[in-house]
Amino acid sequence: MLFPYQIKSEEAYHQAYKQSIENPPAFWSAIAEHFTWKKKWDDVLTWNFSEPNVQWFKGAQLNITENLLDRHLPTKAHSPAIIWEPNDPEEHHRVITYQKLYEKVCQFAHVLNNNGIKKGDRVCIYMGMIPELAIAVLACARIGAIHSVVFGGFSAQSIADRLYDAQAEYIVTCDGAYRGQKDIPLKSVIDDALIGNRTVKKVIVCTRTRTPVSMLKGRDVWWEDELKKVETLGLHDFPAVAMDAEDPLFILYTSGSTGKPKGVVHTVAGYMLYTHYSFINVFQYQPEQIHFCTADIGWITGHSYIIYGPLSAGATTLIFEGVPTWPDAGRFWEIVDKYRVDILYTAPTAIRSLMGFGLGPLHGKSLASLKVLGTVGEPINEEAWHWYNEQVGKKRCPIVDTWWQTETGGILISNLAGITPSKPSWATLPLPGVQPILVDEKGEEILGNNVSGNLCIKTPWPSVLRTTYGDHERCRTNYFATYPNLYFTGDGAMRDENGFYRITGRVDDVLNVSGHRIGTAEVENAINMHAGVVESAVVGYPHDIKGQGIYAFVIYSGAHGDETLSRKDILTTVTRIIGAIAKPDKIQFVSVLPKTRSGKIMRRILRKIAEGETENIGDTSTLLDPSVVEEIKRGKL
């Protein structure tokens, strides 16, 4: 059997779970034996959550790309590794076999090497959803450079902050990217991000949109020109650089409750093992299947379940450049039929948005190839779950509701497709190796069933974040200090009589807008940059499609007095500072914000108002001036 550790029955799940908890080193090393190592480990696991210091497979050496590519060549050289569906359905799609992908990754590894990039260097990747993005990621991994992919929707300012934080010296980008009817000038955004930057030495630019770009002599080079040099020399292989198990593989920035995104660091061996294990078990991947994850590679879902998980299993992964609603809202279904997709993994927000178009876009689509459906990124409401089950899965496909985070690297709580039971809007049970617990405000464990609390994890799984780049203390205080000796997820959860978990959402100041994490403090910082803004407070409110919308209360002293224009100015500012994804859905101008005597904004009250609550605003007695609540309520949008 190809994957002897694939769980094939509910009983086997319980057995694997028990083994994984009783003896984690024995459990994970047995799986690790199936991978290619340059040197085996001395120790499977050493850890403490107080520093934190977690080390899996200490002493081992490997290269993750040998496990994703070289390892499959004897049997899969001619099988498709990547299928690429372009934004424009009229353009030709591409199929890249494992042999071809291996060669392309090796060639681009030469390009990186020729441009002075070495093991440990940070490479910022800012590209659209084209195969070259995956190739750039894997080429970094091949030479041991640390990739930091930045989602194409982030602004120049956001890129500049990330470049600075990671002290990145290299960038790989494109001239532009297509997304629906839009043409995003990526290189020009990079140029803006680099104004005043003194650390970046090289920018490699891949051609996609043929948007005119300015290429700076000595700094900017074309991907294609660099590749030609390598091809002329007839180079097809690049020896995989030996990495320590705990060497960083990548940095991925994510929002927290402070104003500044954190660079979450994942390391080679644990991340490889866990994305592989979770991929084949949650989705019940079978050889030859086609896996379509609709996320962007700029987010963790794309890292783990477009690139690393599927390729580690020798699967065919589908990369889609465009958006679900262009040229029409049937695009996903068309792609499913065109390539006979087996596994479809998407976000509740996409499902809700497609539901809004009715059944028309599904007419004439067979969807008969689908075997497993998945969701990720936010709680799925029952209505969307049933629509997905009935209209897309035709009631024949198990749905996996996968709960996890950028920091967890892979799926931690989910049913296993067709193996363990599902329950609409419940992520259900932890994967082997994962020990969730619920705690109260004081950190006391909440025992028993039919309870709710703050979700923590007790012990390390292989792909737990190791640090936040350049600031280990921040990692400790953010994740490991709220409740001593526990990893705190920032989510609240319920546990039912079967021990199933339902994630109820963030309990910190982080919003989840269309499945994207956005810190309220970050949005406030951006709004406050606008010259006319005195102060602002941002909260989330329930939004039919996005899950959560962004509601901003703003004290404004702008001179021109035109509220509509002022709102637009603020939106433009947020787009410039963070990116369009962080634009508030509603901006209410207020003359004061509800504050305590010590000057702290009482967001709890603003949240209630934004949610449309008029009666039960809660205790306002600690407010400096309780009458402000009435004023703000009157102005609600």
CB nearer ligand WTA, residue 306 or residue 376: 376
CB nearer ligand WTA, residue 321 or residue 491: 491
SS (H, E, C) 181-192: CEEECHHHHHHH
439-478 mask for ligand WTA (x: CB under 6 A)?
----------------------------------------
Shortest Å, Cβ 300 to ligand WTA: 5
CB nearer ligand WTA, residue 144 or residue 152: 152
Would you call 449 exposed, middle or buried from its count of C-beta atoms within 10 A (0-12, 13-18, 19+)? exposed
Among 296, 378, 509, 524, binds ligand WTA (CB under 6 A): 378
- The answer to whether the beta carbons of residues 83 and 318 sit under 8 Å apart is yes
Query: Which two tokens mark 447?
Result: 């025992």
Of residues 495-554, which lie at the interface with ligand WTA (CB under 6 A)?
503, 505-506, 512, 517
Q: Closest by alpha carbon to 125, among 177, 179, 81?
A: 177
CB nearer ligand WTA, residue 275 or residue 284: 275
Q: Distance between CA atoms of 7 and 549, rounded to whole angstroms?
A: 39
SS (H, E, C) 243-310: EECCCEEEEEEECCCCCCCEEEEEEHHHHHHHHHHHHHHHCCCCCCCEEEECCCCCCHHHHHHHHHHH
- The answer to whether the beta carbons of residues 17 and 432 sit under 8 Å apart is yes
- The answer to whether the beta carbons of residues 349 and 324 sit under 8 Å apart is no
Shortest Å, Cβ 255 to ligand WTA: 8
Shortest Å, Cβ 61 to ligand WTA: 29
- The answer to whether the beta carbons of residues 332 and 346 sit under 8 Å apart is yes
Shortest Å, Cβ 493 to ligand WTA: 9
Helix (H) / strand (E) containing 609 = helix 603-610
Shortest Å, Cβ 375 to ligand WTA: 6
Cα 250 to Cα 298, 468, 548, 570: the distances in Å are 12, 11, 29, 34
Q: Per CB under 6 A, does 403 bind ligand WTA?
A: yes
Alpha-carbon torsion, ordered 305, 310, 315, 317, to 10 deg: 40
Region from 104-112, 142-150, 397-405, 620-628 binding ligand WTA, contact rule CB under 6 A: 397-405
Q: Per CB under 6 A, does 490 bind ligand WTA?
A: yes
CB nearer ligand WTA, residue 322 or residue 379: 379
Q: Per CB under 6 A, does 404 bind ligand WTA?
A: yes
Q: Distance between CA atoms of 412 and 66, rounded to whole angstroms?
A: 25
Q: Per CB under 6 A, does 376 bind ligand WTA?
A: yes
CB nearer ligand WTA, residue 515 or residue 594: 515
Q: Per CB under 6 A, does 491 bind ligand WTA?
A: yes
Shortest Å, Cβ 426 to ligand WTA: 9
Of residues 423-442, which lie at the interface with ligand WTA (CB under 6 A)?
427
CB nearer ligand WTA, residue 367 or residue 455: 455
Shortest Å, Cβ 603 to ligand WTA: 17
Q: Distance between CA atoms of 570 and 533, rounded to whole angstroms?
A: 8
- The answer to whether the beta carbons of residues 65 and 42 sit under 8 Å apart is no
Shortest Å, Cβ 459 to ligand WTA: 19
- The answer to whether the beta carbons of residues 389 and 344 sit under 8 Å apart is no
Region from 309-317, 354-362, 485-493, 582-590 binding ligand WTA, contact rule CB under 6 A: 485-493
CB nearer ligand WTA, residue 313 or residue 427: 427
- DSSP for residue 24: H
Q: Per CB under 6 A, does 377 bind ligand WTA?
A: yes
Region from 180-188, 362-370, 483-491, 569-577 binding ligand WTA, contact rule CB under 6 A: 483-491
Query: Which two tokens mark 548?
Result: 């959560």
Q: Per CB under 6 A, does 349 bind ligand WTA?
A: no
Among 148, 278, 316, 405, binds ligand WTA (CB under 6 A): 405
Shortest Å, Cβ 425 to ligand WTA: 8
- What are the φ and ψ backbone dihedral angles of 203, each rounded to 5 degrees? -125, 120
What are the start-end ranges of the H helices in 388-518? 472-475
What are the start-end ranges of the H helices in 356-456? 382-387
- The answer to whether the beta carbons of residues 539 and 563 sit under 8 Å apart is no
Q: Distance between CA atoms of 364 and 367, rounded to whole angstroms?
A: 9
Q: Per CB under 6 A, does 254 bind ligand WTA?
A: yes
Among 241, 300, 416, 609, binds ligand WTA (CB under 6 A): 300
CB nearer ligand WTA, residue 72 or residue 162: 162
CB nearer ligand WTA, residue 61 or residue 375: 375
> Which residue type occupies 281?
N
Q: Distance between CA atoms of 183 and 507, rounded to whole angstroms?
A: 37
Q: Per CB under 6 A, does 379 bind ligand WTA?
A: yes
Q: Which residues pair with 454 in a beta bridge?
A: 439, 492
CB nearer ligand WTA, residue 69 or residue 550: 550
# of chain residues touching ligand WTA (CB under 6 A): 23
| Interacting residues toward ligand WTA by CB under 6 A | 254, 299-301, 376-379, 401-406, 427, 489-491, 503, 505-506, 512, 517
